[in-house]
Structure 1
Amino acid sequence: MSVNVDVGPIDYLALEFPGARLTGEGMAILVDLVDRGIIRVLDMKALVRSDDGAVTAVSISDLDGDGTLDLAVFEGVESDLLDEDDLKEAAALVQPGNAVALLVYENTWAGPFVSAMRRAGAEVVASVRVPADAVIARLEALEASGTAETSTPSDAPPSAAG
């Protein structure tokens, strides 16, 4: 079966919030990414793990509990890609007393490119996400050793292996 739809890679992100302090900071950037068509939010959940380990879902519309809708634009966004097992695994990632926010999103910018490459006969054979922490650590190591130059990432991509 051939699908004629531009679909970009789907990513899953889990963020831990110490002390369950979900301030909503950074949400304007998320909204901007969606507004510009760079990503499409497919699922968004927030969970708080109490000191006794119990897990409670938190409404994404009022993350900081101040009575204002921080993410009303995403209220009800559910693709059903996240199931109960995913939520349990995410809650287990964080320490008691902390919160975890889950975001599943499509990299919509890549969809038309991947579709065009498929029409040209190419197939995606690998897709790997290099964690930002690994890139930063590698760049810092290069800088510290004095071997870092003013190259662009396309000149010499940093190695995730370090």
Structure 2
Amino acid sequence: MEVENLDFYDAFKDFMVRNKKQLLRKKNSFLPPLFSFSKTLYKWYNLIIGVLIIVVFYLISEDSNQQNILKKIHLGLWYGILIFTILQGIYTFLIIRKRFAYIEKTTFWLVIIFYIDQLFNGAYKNFYGNFFSVGITLFLFIAFLIYFAKAILKFNPKIFVR
């Protein structure tokens, strides 16, 4: 702007003419949140959570009533995903009254986690999952919650501090 002696409007217009196709392609892609979410699965804190889930599930597997426990964990995951989605929608649309495309695309991957869980574990009444599949779903859900909180903090660092 200073070199070419342009005001903001003219500089912005020139920028948009040159980069509009690339920006629109990037806007409509769901892959960047997937790649950034998948990179966080190997962070030290997520690995610790994964190990804790394995240990807890191993201890639960020694119980004779393990199928009932798995059903309850599976149901808890279902309610957790449902409650999180409702709270995120209420906060976004009713409290701050702003939409963030990146956050909405990130929440799309939560829906994918839910459907993967349904595919491998079935519904609550027709539960056919095992510790491995429920454990992976639980790990992905907890990792997603951490990732989502970090994404929110990136956009608004003051959000959790009042």
**Structure with a larger share of its residues in helix:** 2
Greater RCO (Cα-Cα under 8 Å, separation 6 or more): 1
| Interval of TM-score (by shorter of Structure 1 and Structure 2) | under 0.3
| TM-score calculated relative to the size of structure 2 | 0.23
| TM-score calculated relative to the size of structure 1 | 0.23
Whichever of the two has the greater Rg, that structure is 2
